[in-house]
Amino acid sequence: MEAPEKNLALDLVRVTEAAALASARWLGKGNNDAGDGAAVDAMRLCFKSLNIKGTIIIGEGEKDNAPMLHNGEKVGTGNGPAVDVAIDPVEGTKLLAYGRPNAISVVGTAPAGTMYNPGPSFYMQKLVVPPAARNAVDIDAPVKENLVNIAKALGKDVDDLVVFVLDKPRHEKLITQIRDAGARIQLHTDGDVAGALMAVDPRSEVDVMMGTGGTPEGVLAACAIKGIGGQIFARLDPQSYVEKEAIQEAGIDLREIHTVDTLIKSDDVLFAATGISGGTFLRGVQYTGDGAVTHSMVIRGKTGSIRYMEAIHNFNRLMKISSVKYD
C-alpha cells in the first residue's frame, strides 16, 4: 500500500486551461495559426512553472507547418520527475478557426523513455475501443467481425453501436462497410484525439473509433486510453510516397501493429484535456463579463481515476499575477 501522492495531472490541467483560454478568443475567426499560436504561447509559459524535467516527444504542428512546441524541446523547471511529454495546444485548429465543435487542448506525460516516438510518420490506422472490448478486436479482422465482437463485449446489438470516423475520402470504403454491418456512424471533419477519447470515455455515446488519422495524435490519445484502461490497435499508414520513404529510411517497420502498451510503456501516465469550442465531449470556453468558465478532463493512469472539472476564472484577479494575456 502507498500513501496518497501528488497528482501531477492536476498541474497539467492548468496548462491546458491556459491554452484553451488564450486560443478560444479566435473561435470562428478563420485564422488557424493565430488560435494555435496563442495556445502555444500560453502553454509554453505555463510549463515554465511545472516541476518536471520534461522532453517533448509529440509536438504537434510539424506536418502542417503550424506554430508549435518542438520535438525535443525541454519543458518544466528541470526539477522533479523526468517525463516524456505529448502536447497538442489546439487539437482541431480548423474546428476552432471555423467555429465547429470539439476543438480541445491536450497534454499527456509518461516516465522518460516510455513514450513511442513516431519519427517521420504523420498518419496511422487506428482502432480504439473501451475497456470492456479491449480483448475483443483485431485490426486485421473484417469491419463487420470487429463490430459484432465489440457489440457482444458491450452487451449491445450491432445496430446500437456508434462509430467515430473522420469524414475523409480515404474512409469511403470503411464507411460503407460500417453501414453494411448495421452500426451507426458519427462523421467528424477533424479531431481524432477527441474521437479516441470519446471511444473510451464512459460518459460518451461513441463506442469505437475506426480509420486513419494522425500518428502524433494516436500517441497522445494513447496516454488517455492507457489511463482509462481501453485499447488502441494501430499501424503506420503513410498517405504519400515521401512519407513512406522517410519512414523506411528511418528503419521503422510499417507492418508492426502497435497497442496501447507499445505506444505508452508505463502505467504511470497522466493526461489532461480542456474544451475550446463547444461540443458533446467537453464544453467549450464560456467568456463572462469578468472572466471565463472552462471544462476539462483529467486522467491518472496509476489509479485509473477520471476527473471532470469545471473551473471559473476571474480575470480581474488573474491578470494581476499572470504573464499569460487572457483578455
The Cα 53–Cα 42 span in angstroms is 19
169 is in an annotated binding site: yes
**Is 278 among the domain residues?**
yes
Task: Say what the pTM is.
Answer: 0.92
11 is in an annotated binding site: no
**Which tens digits make up the pLDDT trace of 199-225?**
999 999 999 999 999 999 999 999 999
Per the prediction, the chain carries an average pLDDT of 92
**CB within 8 Å of 183: residues ≥ 6 apart:** 147, 158, 159, 161, 162, 163
Q: How confident is the model at residue 6 (pLDDT cuts 50, 70, 90)?
A: low
- Are 100 and 153 members of one domain? no
- Are 285 and 225 members of one domain? no
The set of cell numbers assigned to 305 is: 481515476
Is 91 in contact with 65 (CB distance < 8 Å)? no
67 is in an annotated binding site: no
**Is 257 among the domain residues?**
yes
Residue 129 belongs to domain spanning: 123-263
168 is in an annotated binding site: yes
CATH number of the domain enclosing 299: 3.30.540.10
Q: What is the mean pLDDT of residues 298-310?
A: 94
**Is 325 among the domain residues?**
no
Question: Of 161, 251, 238, 239, nearest to 204 (Cα)?
Answer: 161
| Alpha-helix runs per DSSP H in 131-280 | 143-154, 172-181, 192-200, 215-228, 241-249, 260-263
Domain count, the chain: 2
| Domain end among 226, 244, 263 | 263
237 is in an annotated binding site: no
CA angle 323, 324, 327 (to 5 degrees): 120
243 is in an annotated binding site: no
**Which tens digits make up the pLDDT trace of 120-135?**
999 999 999 999 999 9
Angle separating helix axes 32-47 and 9-23, nearest 10 degrees? 150
192 is in an annotated binding site: yes
214 is in an annotated binding site: yes
Q: How confident is the model at residue 67 (pLDDT cuts 50, 70, 90)?
A: low
- Are 105 and 128 members of one domain? no
Residue 250, number of CB atoms within 10 A of its CB: 11
- Are 145 and 106 members of one domain? no
* % of residues, the chain, pLDDT over 70: 93
